[in-house]
Amino acid sequence: MSGSPRLILASASPRRRELLVSLGVAFEVIPAEVVEHEDPASDPRLMVAHNAALKADWVAARHPEALVLGADTTVFIDGTVLNKPADLAEARAMLRRLSGRIHTVFTGLALRRSIDGVRVDEGVASEVTFKALQEDDITRYLALVHVLDKAGAYAIQEYGDLIVAGRSGSLSNIIGLPLETTKQILTRCGLTATFPPQPPA
């Protein structure tokens, strides 16, 4: 397998790239050219698992000797998936819906290696509690953070203190890549890098 990247991240997300860098593993980024499933009425666990596998499978088919990591994250409240907002009006509506309430963030992970049939799928969930937001609070947040590429129209790591009251579960999952679970599946699949100590998830 020499000459092939040991690990490929099948995602264009800069947040996932930064999180994976923090694990201390060598990897390349090759975004999957796929159309993700984003039906708001979907079961969020199934949707993120499907999209993560879609990305990993697409890249793994083209780089069969590499371990390929796919991931997908979404926000879920009131039986509805909140994907990336189409515009600022939809972003504002999402933040109004999340205001003062608890929602769940789901991430699906898929690890593939075509040459020997490696297939690992995992799911992680965390809960986030929002502060009660006034319209001025929402306006301020939208002025500070580019939200159109973020599920649920927010990023907990960007001015999260303005909107988030608390959370339970993995912080890195809420950002987009649950590091502890990622580290476990990479190790299980033979990636033997010495992972640096991680801050609490």
Domains and CATH numbers, the chain: 7-188 (3.90.950.10)
pLDDT-derived band at 179, boundaries 50, 70, 90 = very high
Phi-psi label, residue 85: left if phi above 0, alpha if psi -120 to 50, beta otherwise = beta
pLDDT digits (tens, 9 = 90+) for 23-51: 988 999 999 999 888 888 889 999 999 99
Instruction: Identify the band that residue 191 occupies on the pLDDT scale cut at 50, 70 and 90.
Output: confident
Cα–Cα dist 88/109, whole Å: 29
- Amino acid (one-letter) located at 121: D
Q: How confident is the model at residue 195 (pLDDT cuts 50, 70, 90)?
A: low
Task: Give the pLDDT confidence score for residue 41 in this predicted structure.
Answer: 85
Task: Determine the Cα–Cα distance for residues 198 and 195; give it in Å rounded to an integer.
Answer: 8
pLDDT tens by residue, 139-172 = 999 999 999 999 999 999 999 999 999 999 999 9
Q: Which residues are CB-neighbours of 155 under 8 A, at least 6 positions away?
A: 15, 145, 147, 175
Residue 201 pLDDT: 53
Where in the sequence numbering do the catalytic residues fall? 72
d(CA 153, CA 103): 13
List Cβ neighbours of 197 (8 Å cut-off, separation of 6 or more).
none
In the predicted structure, residue 197 carries a pLDDT above the cut 90:
no
